Amino acid sequence: MNRRLLYTALPTITLTGLYLSTRGCTPGISLDGSISTRTKMEDYVKQLQSRIVHRLGEFDGGHAFRVDKWQRKEGGEGISCVMQDGKHLEKAGVGVSIVHGKLPPAGVKQMRANHSGIPYDPNANASLPFSAVGLSLIIHPRNPFSPTVHANYRYFELYAEHDNPADSNTSPIFSWFGGGSDLTPTYLIEEDAHHFHNTIKNACEKHDSGFYPQFKNWADKYFYIPHRQECRGVGGIFFDDLTPGSQLARGKNADELFAFVKECGDSFVDSYIPILEKRRDTPFTEHNKRWQELRRGRYVEFNLVHDRGTKFGLNAGGARIESILMSLPSTARWEYMTDMGVEQGTQEEKLQQVLRHPVDWV
């Protein structure tokens, strides 16, 4: 079943009501009445998606999102909400996926490259059951002085070879949280970078004073395009492999990590919408638009060549390509030996300097 409809961001509509009443999996409620981390994350990303879509639609004057509700035959479901050709938002996508199934050996090996703690014998060539719950969003504004933004928050569980991943009570052999949010301006406006980073820092510090500097540094390294020798944007935070009780997670348990991820997700609107509201009516020229499309080209290069989420989606089997590539802009540009961003003293060159030498914004 694949239902398509329009969502106009009216306050009486909630996207959570569009999910299947029966997901084909057992609710994650244990015998002692506790709710599994997986189930809590599922409920959270649904309501966060609804809130963000509502706020973006409100910002763009009620322009409708196209809402695709989909099911994955290998197990799971999701909703992809996409706005195209809005008044202020050229393209915006907010997607939720709640999937489970078997991760083929190639996918497990790819995952172990970034998650060395996964208990797996690569010589066994075995598939492993998995579940993945996540929200991913990308916003490409129309105005070149409004920055692009990305955010993703996810929870992953791996199970023993013969376990049932459709049962939310199945005990994982390995689990972790991941996510982050980063800002990608076409033109550097330092006030915006300060606001974005300060909002995220405040969210992090409610849970651990060490999280922001640790994850800000990780973002500067992760959102980097090696073949261009530059960062994708002005960064934000990035974290992965936050396994409950681990040193990387600073010893925090699953409930504490879930609360941290929730805090980060809840801070998104405050970190970004005020920037959009300030920049949406800034006058711009064809020159500015050309530079925006060149920078979008670099964004495409990162997403298709280096992004972990894209690689996982394509390797997991049963890939829904439209949702995986939802992050790509409507238009992008490549020029052979372009002169833009090279001439010293220009606004374009000012951005390039920051992309090559990351800045501490707080």
Residues carrying an active site annotation: 150
Question: Would you say 216 and 180 are in contact if contact means Cβ atoms under 8 Å apart?
Answer: no
Determine phi and psi for 209, rounding to 5 degrees. Answer: -65, -20
Q: Token pair of 172, please?
A: 């994982």
CA 113-311-96 angle, 5° bins: 115
Residue 5: strand pairing partners: 67
Element holding 64 (H helix, E strand) = none
- The C-alpha atoms of residue 21 and residue 2 are separated, in whole angstroms, by 15
Return the residue matching tokens 């510090």: 205
Q: Token pair of 268, please?
A: 């998104």
- The C-alpha atoms of residue 53 and residue 50 are separated, in whole angstroms, by 5
Q: Token pair of 192, please?
A: 């915006």
Residues with Cβ within 8 Å of 8's Cβ and at least 6 positions away in sequence, in order, are 57, 62, 64, 65
One-character DSSP codes across 8-40 = ---TT--GGGGS-S--SSB--B-TTSPBPHHHH
Question: Would you say 137 and 218 are in contact if contact means Cβ atoms under 8 Å apart?
Answer: no
Select from 343, 201, 183, 347 the least CA-distant residue to 275.
Answer: 183
